[in-house]
């Protein structure tokens, strides 16, 4: 049987995934226990899953943070956009179709091109992209797959339930043998599975209503309430959390409501921080993006916040707040609905001081801010 590798490719409109895309590649988006890349790796473990991006700085940062990611190999290649969310069954069907095919074909999702199978070994990832661009959409066969193209970060929130259900079938055990769940905790899986990963801890009197994914080494603190949330590794979570995604290495360690929100990595929400996720009018929520205001066509959106941003105690975020990277958000009333990057109150945040804090914060978790990632952050700071 011929070998087929998966090559996840960043799309040209990746900046639309703001603020996540400021510091991450699209395949790093978490929708359940796993990110898009991790789900490919878990679903087809015998297959090489590699990545390529036109954003060189972001790719170097990713490789630095995830050095075990497979390198590109010269093999028949299935290219798929990194922002396409597919179920494990669709992933397997695509790979099976590639194995059986003797010629190249385009892959579409909802009629939109999202990738291609290249039926010849290629010497490099760039050759794969060049080959993809040379394919004639009118003359080339097309394979349609069922999935979702994620063009805005808030769209991930629609897929928490399905993603956790998928991921529950990919783990050996729903509750890891190395996880700790206090006897007074309530785990209600009547509406969806509950996954508790290696080394995670669920403290006394926690209520978990599935579907919920709790990442490795994450602590859910006493009296927390979780419902339809996906939490990445090494987080601290307390209070009420619903319909939200926490990428990883983030602290929401005190009371306060988090709803319909996406938190990046190394975020810290001070005690009592609360998000509004519903307008008093019950109308559509507009969000202020760097390129202008967008109507999300949604009734529920809370906070979208980038890596290394911190909110002071008692912060009250308005509905549909969007916040960039490395901010210190302290305000008497609700902060602005649109906050850029590297801001301290209303002033610029000195990048050297910001980087020094990042080194300290990551060092407390036994991790380091690598030079490639630091270079990317300095670039973002201008």
Retrieve residue 124's tokens.
């490099």
Cα separation, 211 vs 230, in Å, equals 8
Contact 214, 199 (CB under 8 A): no
In this prediction the pTM is 0.97
- CATH superfamily entry for domain 4-151: Spore Coat Polysaccharide Biosynthesis Protein SpsA; Chain A (3.90.550.10)
Alpha helices in the chain (DSSP H): 36-43, 56-65, 88-100, 125-134, 160-168, 351-364, 371-381
Contact 28, 36 (CB under 8 A): yes
Q: What is the DSSP letter of 350?
A: P
Specify the pLDDT at position 275.
98
> Would you list the DSSP string of 193-239?
-EEE-TT-EE-TT-EEEEEEEE-TT-EEPTT-EEEEEEE-SS-EE-S
Q: Residue-wise pLDDT tens for the chain (382 aa)?
A: 578 999 999 988 999 999 999 999 999 999 999 999 999 999 999 999 999 999 999 999 999 999 999 999 988 999 999 999 999 999 999 999 999 999 999 999 999 999 999 988 888 888 777 777 777 777 889 999 999 999 999 999 999 999 999 999 999 999 999 999 999 999 999 999 999 999 999 999 999 999 999 999 999 999 999 999 999 999 999 999 999 999 999 999 999 999 999 999 999 999 999 999 999 999 999 999 999 999 999 999 999 999 999 999 999 999 999 999 999 999 888 999 999 999 998 899 999 999 999 999 999 999 999 999 999 999 999 8
Task: Identify the pLDDT of residue 253.
Answer: 97
Alpha carbon separation from 226 to 189, 220, 235, 251, 353 (Å, rounded): 12, 9, 14, 15, 35
Q: Which residue from 85, 238, 213 is spatially nearest to 150, judged by alpha carbons? A: 85
CB-count burial class (<10 Å; 0-12, 13-18, 19+) for 360: exposed
Confirm if 9 and 80 have CB atoms less than 8 A apart: yes
* CATH number attached to the domain at 155-381: 2.160.10.10
Question: What is the model's pLDDT at position 154?
Answer: 98
Contact (CB, 8 A) for 117 and 151: no
Domain ranges, ordered by start, for the chain: 4-151, 155-381
- For the chain, the distance separating the N- and C-terminal CA atoms, rounded to the nearest angstrom, is 50
Nearest to 321 by CA among 335, 342, 307: 335
Residue indicated by tokens 């597919």: 86
Name residues whose C-beta falls within 8 Å of residue 34's C-beta, 6 or more positions apart in sequence. Answer: 42, 163, 167, 170
User: Which of 161, 138, 128 minimizes the C-alpha distance to 54?
Assistant: 128
């Amino acid at each position: 049987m011929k070998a087929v590798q998966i090559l996840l490719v960043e799309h040209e409109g990746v900046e639309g995934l703001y603020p996540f895309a400021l510091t991450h590649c699209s395949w790093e988006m978490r929708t359940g226990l796993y990110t898009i890349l991790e789900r490919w790796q878990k679903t087809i473990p015998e297959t090489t899953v590699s990545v390529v991006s036109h954003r060189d700085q972001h790719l170097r940062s990713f490789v630095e943070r995830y050095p075990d990611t497979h390198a590109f190999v010269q093999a028949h290649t299935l290219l798929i956009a990194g922002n396409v969310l597919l179920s494990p069954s669709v992933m397997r069907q695509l790979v099976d179709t590639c194995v059986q095919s003797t010629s190249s074909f385009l892959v579409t999702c909802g009629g939109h091109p999202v990738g291609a199978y290249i039926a010849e070994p290629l010497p490099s990832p760039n050759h794969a992209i060049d080959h993809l661009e040379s394919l004639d959409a009118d003359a080339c066969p097309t394979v349609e797959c069922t999935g979702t193209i994620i063009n805005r970060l808030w769209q991930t929130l629609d897929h928490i339930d399905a993603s956790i259900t998928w991921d529950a079938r990919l783990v050996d055990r729903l509750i890891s043998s190395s996880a700790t769940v206090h006897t007074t905790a309530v785990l209600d899986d009547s509406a969806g599975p509950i996954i508790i990963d290696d080394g995670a801890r669920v403290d006394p009197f926690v209520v978990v209503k599935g579907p919920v994914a709790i990442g490795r080494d994450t602590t859910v603190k006493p009296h927390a309430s979780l419902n339809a949330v996906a939490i990445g590794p090494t987080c601290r979570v307390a209070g009420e959390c619903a319909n939200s995604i926490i990428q990883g290495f983030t602290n929401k360690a005190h009371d306060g409501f988090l709803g319909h929100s996406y938190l990046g990595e190394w975020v810290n929400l001070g005690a009592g921080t609360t998000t509004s996720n519903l307008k008093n009018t019950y109308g559509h929520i507009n969000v202020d993006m760097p390129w202008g205001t967008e109507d999300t066509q949604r009734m529920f959106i809370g906070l979208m916040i980038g890596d290394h941003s911190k909110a002071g105690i008692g912060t009250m975020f308005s509905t549909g707040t969007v916040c960039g990277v490395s901010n210190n958000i302290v305000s008497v009333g609700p902060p602005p609905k649109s906050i850029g990057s590297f801001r301290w109150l209303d002033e610029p945040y000195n990048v050297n001081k910001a980087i020094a804090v990042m080194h300290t914060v990551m060092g407390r978790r036994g991790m380091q801010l690598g030079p490639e990632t630091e270079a990317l952050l300095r670039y973002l700071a201008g």
